[in-house]
């Protein structure tokens, strides 16, 4: 089960950002602002998002300014937030793509 956070369009294609049960739990436990998480994902821009959509890998955004990290993956046109971490100095598992913002 996942929770819908937002829906947006790129070139007339509809995408959604959803959080897994674990992701929702971590957002709540760590008091991380949902809008900041959504903004960080959207800040990657059209080209990067479309590129990541074609890959079968997890993506980790490390936001040093807000001291948070967001792990997500694509499933079709759905961006699935796997977890959020309340720090930027983290271990990233092998084969995870990293974006520092």
Indicate which CATH number applies to the domain containing 61: 3.30.2310
Residue 18 has pLDDT above 80, yes or no: yes
50, 61 Cβ separation under 8 angstroms = no
Q: Which pLDDT score is estimated for 89?
A: 92
Q: Looking at the 3D structure of the chain, how many domains does it have?
A: 1
Q: Which pLDDT score is estimated for 19?
A: 97
Instruction: Provide the residue range defining the domain that includes 27.
Output: 2-100
Confidence of residue 2 (pLDDT cuts 50, 70, 90): confident
- What sign does the CA torsion over 51, 65, 28, 26 have? positive
Nearest CA among 80, 73, 89, 85 for reference residue 31:
85
Question: What distance in Å separates the CA atoms of residue 73 and residue 58, rounded to the nearest whole number?
Answer: 5
The DSSP secondary-structure symbol of 96 reads -
Confidence of residue 40 (pLDDT cuts 50, 70, 90): very high
Confidence of residue 1 (pLDDT cuts 50, 70, 90): confident
43-91 tens-digit pLDDT: 999 999 999 999 989 999 999 999 999 999 999 999 999 999 999 999 9
């Amino acid at each position: 089960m996942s929770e819908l956070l937002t829906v947006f369009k790129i070139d007339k294609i509809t995408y959604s950002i959803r959080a897994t049960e674990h992701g929702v739990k971590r957002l709540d436990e760590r008091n991380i602002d949902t809008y900041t998480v959504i903004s960080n994902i959207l800040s990657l821009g059209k080209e990067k998002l479309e590129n990541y959509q074609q890959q079968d890998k997890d993506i980790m955004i490390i936001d040093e300014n807000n001291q948070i990290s967001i792990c997500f993956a694509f499933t079709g046109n759905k961006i699935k937030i796997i977890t959020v971490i309340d720090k930027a100095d983290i271990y990233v598992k092998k084969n995870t793509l990293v974006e520092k913002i």
